[in-house]
Amino acid sequence: MAMLVNGRPGDAVSVLDRGFAYGDGVFRTLQLRHGRPWMWRWQYARLCDDAARLRLEAPDEGLLLDELLALGREHALAVGKIVLTRGAGARGYAMSAAGAPTRVVSAAPWAGYPAEYGERGVVARWCELRLSVQPALAGIKHLNRLESVLARSEWSDPAIQEGLLLDQDGWLVEGAMSNIYLLRGSQILTPRLDRCGVNGAVRDWLTENVSNFGLEFIESRLSVGDLIDAEAAFLSNSLMGIWPLARLGERVWMPSPLLQSLRQALLQQA
């Protein structure tokens, strides 16, 4: 894996970095095609939004693009990652104790997921962990990811591609590594991320683009029953793109031509 720490080749950060000490930072995971980040417009916008929520200054866009290109250009496909933290600081939680921010950019060659996940759909399960409710952090892809770690630790069966999460009150939120959507008539419904969950770049793309398919994008409180009753359901993140849900426990969904059209449109996106 190739890496740049504040622009310099390196694979280490200070023990005093607040990313290490407190998870005080944000990150993005991206698909790099010959070093060019897929969905960049949405990724960068999200990075800026998330950073601002934590009162961090986002790095310059051109700088990030240059670094990703330098690290990923030799690979047809790679997983890129941008981590931004509040930097190394004195002891204590106060933000004023922090120095200059830390920027870590990395790229690792990647074979991609099996094509059938996108074409035929995936199998999901319910996680027992319930996500905590924290409006001050909801939606942000921050570095406090212990809930994701605990959720992902609930299964090891490779035939299960994703675990679905409810919040403490039992509302549907997301997958351990993805956003989730339901198809109901001409509506795409997805959980509102005002109390917990991570807002992905593909989710933002969908808000702007589903109308091209005669669909309406609706953020809502959704229940387990809403998901089970949905005509179709799917997951998204920046590595998988769109994966239809094929099975969740007893519930089996038939392939949806509409979802495949949406998925193909996403894949065509620069």
Kindly list the residues in this chain that would bind its own copies in the complex (CB under 8 A). Answer: 1, 3, 5, 10-24, 27, 29, 54-55, 79, 81, 83, 91-96, 104, 106, 108, 129, 131-134, 136-137, 142-153, 156, 168, 176-177, 196
Strand, helix or coil for residue 201: helix
Give the nearer residue to its own copies in terms of CB position, either 178 or 190: 178
Give the nearer residue to its own copies in terms of CB position, either 82 or 182: 82
Strand, helix or coil for residue 223: coil
Task: Round to whole Å and give the CA distance between 19 and 13.
Answer: 9
Partners of 163 in the beta sheet?
125
Contact 91, 103 (CB under 8 A): no
Supply the minimum distance, in Å, between the C-beta of residue 268 and its own copies. Answer: 26
Supply the minimum distance, in Å, between the C-beta of residue 55 and its own copies. Answer: 7
CA geometry: angle at 122 spanning 120 and 128, to 5°?
A: 165
Supply the minimum distance, in Å, between the C-beta of residue 107 and its own copies. Answer: 11
Give the nearer residue to its own copies in terms of CB position, either 149 or 254: 149
C-beta neighbour count of 252 within 10 angstroms: 11
Task: Round to whole Å and give the CA distance between 51 and 130.
Answer: 26
Supply the minimum distance, in Å, between the C-beta of residue 133 and its own copies. Answer: 6
Give the nearer residue to its own copies in terms of CB position, either 243 or 253: 243
